[in-house]
Amino acid sequence: MRTDAPPRSGPDLRHHGDAEVRGAGLVDLAVNVRAGTPPPWLRDRIAASLSGLAAYPDGAAARAAVAARHGRPEEEVLLTSGAAEAFVLLARTLRPRRAVVVHPQFTEPEAALRDAGHAVERVLLRPEDGFRLDPAAVPEDADLVVAGNPTNPTSVLHPAAGLAALARPGRVLVVDEAFADTVPGEPESLAARRDLPGLVVLRSLTKTWGLAGLRVGYLLAAAPQAAALARSQPLWPVSSPALAAAEACCTPRALAEAEEAARTTAVHRARLLAGLAAVPGVRVHGEPAASFVLLELPGAAAVRERLRAAGFAVRRGDTFPGLGPDFLRVAVRDPDTTDAFLAALAGCREG
């Protein structure tokens, strides 16, 4: 694990998995959204909200639902136009002296900070360490630290205690939990923690519920911090259909369904990992815990192109700081899709 000042040129921080599949007609293993979503009951709930589009959005009910879901006061919840908006709000609102982003992880936090004129340092987690975070690697004087849990693209779930150890007065600690609900029981989540100074937790409804096109997420923070970030938002930043979805996804029924989906994902992930272990040259570092797996194999860039020719889209890894051209990210799918992908991967390796 090391701390780096990024070079002037480097990975394309604006490349995302949707670029791998847009208009290509491929089996989508590049985007980490649960297949077959949103479910019919959620689509119906969203559709029902359309009758009220003449009125301006009112986020009160959705905010109350999110607050109740995490056991927090409503003033500690900020609804956002997708979790990605939260990164922009943080970049526009904060004035860090030393901003540190833990990589490899989702690249949008660093991109947003750089767009806002902030210098960014990187703490790079290493494959030989299983991409595990050592809190001691984060500079003591960093006043903004951004980490993911479970981390995209490594799928590693860091212990909550290790992340909590990074919190301290005078520091904003941002934990991106966009994939937390893909882990059964959410055992390492900090979403309910109100005792950690400077903690900001980000959540997405995109991954489990298939709502990428609706743009809805939220952040959890101390009331003064949430209010400061809200002042950087435009008026009515979250649409009425998105608010309806946020409220619906916090009901007991939805939470039970998400938990069941997480357990199913764990079973399907085990099948994928077992299959990958049988493919010569493929390595998986650490212990994947989320709805995707990061794999390393020689010549991954060429394999990725062969997979495309075979009908499968996977996410390139070289746009994530700390990785390189020999990494690919693969979404966890149902057994039939996984078996077909594994057969195609084995064929591509042989080619």
- Are 138 and 145 a contacting pair, CB within 8 Å? yes
φ, ψ for residue 113 (rounded to 5)?
-65, -45
Residue whose token pair is 């950087």: 232
Instruction: Give first-to-last CA distance, the chain, whole Å.
Output: 35
* Mean pLDDT score across all residues of the chain: 93
Max Cα-Cα span within the chain: 59
Mean pLDDT value across residues 323-335: 96
Residue 4 has pLDDT above 60, yes or no: no
pLDDT in tens, 112-142: 999 999 999 999 999 999 999 999 999 999 9
pLDDT in tens, 97-110: 999 999 999 999 99
- Are 110 and 123 a contacting pair, CB within 8 Å? no
Mean pLDDT value across residues 287-311: 96
Task: Count CB neighbours of 294 within 10 A.
Answer: 27
Q: What is the C-alpha to C-alpha distance for residues 285 and 126, in angstroms, rounded to an integer?
A: 9
- Are 329 and 292 a contacting pair, CB within 8 Å? yes
DSSP structure class, residue 117:
T
- pLDDT range class, residue 18, cuts 50, 70, 90: low
- Are 70 and 180 a contacting pair, CB within 8 Å? no
φ, ψ for residue 143 (rounded to 5)?
-105, 0
DSSP structure class, residue 283:
B
Whether residue 96 has a cis bond before it, omega within 30° of 0: no
Q: What is the C-alpha to C-alpha distance for residues 111 and 117, in angstroms, rounded to an integer?
A: 10
Retrieve residue 17's tokens.
Answer: 């998995």
Residue 199 carries which side chain, given as an amino acid letter?
L
Which alpha helices (H) appear in the chain, and where do they start and end?
A: 40-48, 60-70, 83-93, 108-115, 160-164, 206-209, 223-230, 240-248, 252-277, 300-309, 335-350
CA 186, 202, 85, 247 torsion-angle sign = positive
- pLDDT range class, residue 6, cuts 50, 70, 90: low
The pTM of this model reads 0.94
> Which burial class, exposed, middle or buried, applies to 87 when counting CB atoms under 10 A from its CB (0-12, 13-18, 19+)?
buried
pLDDT in tens, 52-103: 999 999 999 999 999 999 999 999 999 999 989 999 999 999 999 999 999 9
Task: Count CB neighbours of 306 within 10 A.
Answer: 17
φ, ψ for residue 121 (rounded to 5)?
-105, 155
In the chain, count of helices (H) and strands (E)?
A: 11, 12
- Are 249 and 206 a contacting pair, CB within 8 Å? no
Residue 250 has pLDDT above 90, yes or no: yes
- Residue 206, pLDDT score: 87
Residue 20 has pLDDT above 80, yes or no: no
Residue whose token pair is 């009220």: 52
Residue whose token pair is 């951004």: 146
Whole-number Cα distances in Å, 68 to 192, 261, 331: 10, 21, 31
pLDDT in tens, 137-184: 999 999 999 999 999 999 999 999 999 999 999 999 999 999 999 999
